[in-house]
Amino acid sequence: MYRTKTCGELRLSNMGATVTLAGWVQRSRRMGGMTFVDLRDRYGITQLVFNQDKDADLCEQANKLGREFVIQVTGIVSERSNKNAHIPTGDIEIIVAGMQVLNCAATPPFTIEDDTDGGDDIRMKYRYLDLRRHAVRANLELRHQMTAEVRNYLGGKSFIEVETPMLISSTPEGARDFVVPSRMNPGQFYALPQSPQTFKQLLMVSGFDRYFQIVKCFRDEDLRADRQPEFTQIDCEMSFVEQDDVLCMFEGMTKHLFKSIRNIELTEPFPRMTWADAMKFYGSDKPDIRFGMKIAELPAELLRGHGFAPFNSAAYVGGICAEGAAAYTRKQIDALTDFVKRPQIGAKGLIYARVEADGSLKSSVDKFYSPDELLRIKYLFGAGPGDLILIIYGDDAMKTRKQLSELRLEMGGRLGLRDKNSFACLWVVDFPLLEWSEADGRFYAMHHPFTSPKPEDVHLLDSDPGAVSANAYDMVINGVEVGGGSIRIHDSELQQRMFRLLGFTDEQALARFGFLTNAFRYGAPPHGGIAYGLDRWVSLFAGLDSIRDCIAFPKNTSGRDVMIDAPSTIDASQLEELNLSITAK
Ligand code: ASP
Query: Contact at 8 Å (CB) between 531 and 200?
Result: no
- Pair (141, 257) in one structural domain: yes
What separation in Å is there between the alpha carbon of 195 and the centre of ligand 1? 7
Pocket of ligand 1, candidates 235, 247, 429: which has the most ligand atoms within 8 Å of its Cβ, to mutate?
235
Pocket test for ligand 1, best of 195, 450, 530 (most atoms within 8 A of CB): 195
Task: State residue 156's pLDDT score.
Answer: 98
> At which of 380, 414, 448 does a domain end?
414
Res 25: pLDDT: 98
Q: Which residues line ligand 1 (CB under 6 A)?
A: 173, 195, 197, 484-486, 529-531
In a domain, 4, yes or no: no
Sequence-ordered list of residues with C-beta below 8 angstroms from that of 576, at least 6 positions apart, any chain: none
Reference 71, options 90, 48, 52, 55; nearest CA is 48
Q: Which amino acid is at 450?
A: F
- DSSP state for residue 552 in the 8-state scheme: S
- Give me the CATH number covering residue 347: 3.30.1360.30
Domain-located, residue 118: no
Task: Find out whether 476 and 486 touch, Cβ atoms under 8 Å.
Answer: no
Q: Are residues 375 and 447 in the same domain?
A: no
Q: Residue 527: name the closest of 158, 207, 161, 174 by CA.
A: 207
Does residue 51 lie in a domain region? yes
Contact 59, 100 (CB under 8 A): no
Nearest CA to ligand 1 atom 4: 195
3-class SS at 10?
coil
DSSP per-residue string spanning 417-444:
---TT---EEEEE--BSEEEETTTTEEE
Distance 402 CA to ligand 1 centre (A): 24
Atom of ligand 1 nearest to the CA of 530: 8
pLDDT along the chain (585 residues), means of 10: 97 98 97 96 97 95 97 98 96 98 97 88 96 95 98 98 95 87 95 97 98 97 87 98 98 98 97 98 98 96 90 94 96 96 95 94 90 91 96 96 98 97 97 93 94 96 95 98 98 94 93 93 97 97 94 94 96 94 85
401 and 432, same domain (yes or no): no
> Cα–Cα distance between 519 and 490 in angstroms, integer?
10
Output the pLDDT for position 174: 81
> Is 474 in the same domain as 529?
yes
How many angstroms separate the alpha carbon of residue 401 from the centre of ligand 1? 26
Query: Which string of DSSP letters, residue by residue, matches 387-424?
Result: -EEEEEEES-HHHHHHHHHHHHHHHHHHTT---TT---
Task: Assess contact for 393 and 409: CB atoms under 8 A.
Answer: no
Q: Is residue 130 part of a domain?
A: no
∠ CA 232-238-242, nearest 5°, is 120
* Domain with 52 in it: 12-103
In a shared domain, residues 538 and 499: yes
How many structural domains compose the chain? 3
Atom of ligand 1 nearest to the CA of 451: 7
User: Distance (Å, rounded) from C-alpha 448 to C-alpha 520?
Assistant: 17
Mapped onto helix, strand or coil, the DSSP state of residue 467 is helix
Q: Can you list the positions of beta strands (E) in 496-549?
A: 527-533
- Taking CA atoms only, the protein residue closest to ligand 1 atom 6 is 485
Cα distance between residue 267 and residue 381, in whole Å: 31
b/e 16-55 (16+ beta carbons within 10 angstroms → b): eeebbbbbbbbbbeeeeeebbbbbbbeebbbbbbbebeeb
Helix 397-414 vs helix 275-282: crossing angle, to nearest 10:
70
Whole-number Å distance, alpha carbon 232 to ligand 1 midpoint, is 12
Does residue 175 share a domain with residue 96? no
Q: Which among 103, 124, 145 is the end of a domain?
A: 103
CA distance 549 to 536: 10
Number of the ligand 1 atom closest to the C-alpha atom of 236: 8
Domain boundary among 353, 381, 414: 414
Atom of ligand 1 nearest to the CA of 488: 7
Q: Are residues 152 and 243 in the same domain?
A: yes
DSSP code at position 557? T
Q: Counting beta carbons within 10 angstroms of the beta carbon of residue 568, is it exposed (0 to 12), middle (13 to 18) or buried (19 or more)?
A: exposed
Q: Domain with 178 in it: what CATH number?
A: 3.30.930.10
Give dist(CA 135, CA 299) in Å, integer.
51
Please give the pLDDT value at position 114: 87
Among 237, 250, 448, 482, residue to substitute to test ligand 1 (most atoms within 8 Å of Cβ): 448
Please indicate, yes or no, whether residues 485 and 446 belong to a single structural domain of this protein.
yes
CB contact set of 515 (below 8 Å; sequence gap of 6+): 198, 202
- Whether 335 maps to a domain, the answer reads yes
pTM, 2 dp: 0.94
Q: State whether residue 93 is helix, strand or coil.
A: strand
Question: Do 65 and 149 belong together in one domain?
Answer: no
Could you tell me if 155 and 266 lie in one domain? yes
The 10 Å Cβ neighbour count of residue 530 is 24
Atom nearest to 171 CA in ligand 1:
1
Rounded Cα distance between 119 and 348, Å, is: 37
Same domain, 202 and 314: no
Residue 257 to residue 263: CA distance in whole angstroms: 9
d(C-alpha 536, C-alpha 372), whole Å: 48
Instruction: Report which residue type is found at 196.
Output: P
Atom of ligand 1 nearest to the CA of 233: 4
- Confirm whether 63 is domain-assigned: yes
DSSP assignment of 535-547 equals HHHHHHHHT-S-G
365 with 451, same domain? Answer: no
Residue 46's identity, in one-letter code, is T
Cβ atoms 449, 498 nearer than 8 A: yes
| Axis-axis angle for helices 506-520, 197-205 (nearest 10) | 40
> Domain of 61: which CATH number?
2.40.50.140
Q: Is 505 part of a structural domain of the chain?
A: yes
pLDDT value of residue 80: 97
Evaluate whether residue 163 is within a structural domain: yes
